[in-house]
Amino acid sequence: MITHHLLAGDILKACDIRGVVDKNLTVTDARFIARAFASALFKRGKSSCVIGYDGRHSSAGFCDAAAEGLAQSGIDVTIVGLVPTPAVYFALTQLGADAGVIVTASHNPAEYNGFKFFTAEGPFHGADIQALGAACKRGDFVSGHGSRKNIDIVPAYIQYLHRFLELPFARTLHTVWDPGNGAVAALLAPFLERLPGKQSVICGEVNGDFPVHHPDPSLKKNMEPLRRAVLKRGADLGIAFDGDGDRLGLVDGAGYVFQGDQLMVLFARELLRSHPGATVMSEVKASSFFYEDVAAHGGKSLMWKVGHTHQKEKMQRDRILLAGETSGHIFFAQNRGYDDALFSAVKLLNILAHSERSAAQIRERFPVMHDSGEIRIPADSRQRARLVAEIAARLRQEGREFVDIDGIRTACNDGFWMMRGSNTQPHITIRCEARSKDGLHSCLADLRRQLASAGVDLESAGYYAEA
């Protein structure tokens, strides 16, 4: 009998576990990861866990192996099947379970898979994730005879979402929906049944190959099929989801693709109408416009770390009512702080269906910000840490002020540039923004100089995810 198991160290991320299937993440790994998680739960006095999986080809098998590992360690397991991540969050509360697991690699390419973990108290991340690897290596497992059962959580989850619709709508909307062949496609039809107005769907079948586009709505190229569909059909808006349904994307009726921080402006303005002076949180990549707009509407803004677990933890600790990231993770305290893109879609429909202005008309009043989009430089974990540390040290020597809660964010001309190591993929993420084209060019030039001093040529080492 195997008493211990060695995991590949590079699959243990800041917020979850992710790897390439059958390369550095296998079904055997899944079973032992689950046993290590069960041991962690046992030490916390917990005995029940909900588990679901996304639409990747390997996900059902990984789920079965993980459920087996949990049960072998004495955890009572409830399997909720192929569902988006937020449906597992919902099931945790609805069923009164102690913890939850979703088999998913979110927006990563099709060859990836992984696991997100959480407990009834909040996120399970950072040192918790690293401890799973250490527990596997030591063979720190408990044994027991947990039960296994299957439950269809979808009807209750859809009913829960529908409760937040502010009906009747003041005006009807034609919405095009794009689940990106991801997990949301598994339940989109029943979700749309009660919605007023006209509904159209593209990429509406679960397909782990993601044949039309990559399921990441934070990149404009992935939003192009939805943008074309909105314009062709004369729709009012288009709503997109990532692979596991915890991130939202928006296209307005003029074909403009909103960034996540622009979406947050819509949600923050709505919140501040009913909660004057409330704190609204985002992260280090977010536009200066977002932070200024919160203040202009009577709120307080807070900049924090990137990553859904970091945002949730800070939100819970500081009792923040609304938070969100540029990637499209939106967190409502009204929804227990979960990043649920279908819940966010309901809130967005409520805003637009009761507004005198369309999404495009609201957006047209936003200030013009000149933005590089995300620039991504391939780098392993050591390279990421070295690059950020070296440039931070140089900025200190130059007497430059910068925010270092998560990488580096520094003012430059009439804008800023930022850089940080990705939590989920092997690259450095960079963003530059300014109020003028000259300002953006100045920010990019400053960034190029800093990178060159660290031995990195921006154009040859990286690529522009957005132009």
- pLDDT for 175-197, tens place per residue? 999 999 999 999 999 999 989 99
Q: Where are the strands (E) in 83-224, listed by range? A: 99-103, 112-119, 122-123, 148-150, 174-178, 198-201
pTM for the model: 0.94
304-348 pLDDT tens trace: 999 898 999 999 999 999 999 999 999 999 999 999 999 999 999
More confident residue, 467 or 381: 381
Q: Which residues are catalytic?
A: 106
Is the pLDDT confidence value at 261 over 80? yes
Share of the chain above pLDDT 70, in %: 98
Kindly indicate the confidence band of residue 449, based on its pLDDT and cuts at 50, 70 and 90.
Answer: very high
Is the pLDDT confidence value at 465 over 70? no
- Joined tokens for residue 170: 């003041």
Q: Give the C-alpha separation, 435 to 415, whole Å.
A: 6
Is the pLDDT confidence value at 113 over 50? yes
- Angle, helices 85-94 vs 154-162, to 10°: value is 90
Is the pLDDT confidence value at 466 over 60? no
Domain with CATH 3.40.120.10 in the chain: 9-152, 157-364
pLDDT at position 374 is 84
Q: Give the C-alpha separation, 328 to 114, whole Å.
A: 20
Give the C-alpha distances (Å, rounded to integers) separating 300 from 155, 291, 328, 442: 38, 8, 20, 29
CATH level 3 topology of 370-464 = TATA-Binding Protein (3.30.310)
Domain with CATH 3.30.310.50 in the chain: 370-464
- Joined tokens for residue 213: 């586009």
Is the pLDDT confidence value at 384 over 60? yes
Q: Average pLDDT of 389-408?
A: 95
Is the pLDDT confidence value at 423 over 50? yes
Is the pLDDT confidence value at 463 over 60? no
Beta-strand pair 48-53/248-252 = unpaired
Q: Taking all residues of the chain, what is their mean pLDDT, rounded to a whole number? A: 94
Kindly indicate the confidence band of residue 373, based on its pLDDT and cuts at 50, 70 and 90.
Answer: confident
Superfamily name and number for 157-364? Alpha-D-Glucose-1,6-Bisphosphate, subunit A, domain 3 (3.40.120.10)
Is the pLDDT confidence value at 161 over 60? yes
CATH level 3 topology of 9-152 = Alpha-D-Glucose-1,6-Bisphosphate; Chain A, domain 3 (3.40.120)
Is the pLDDT confidence value at 462 over 60? no
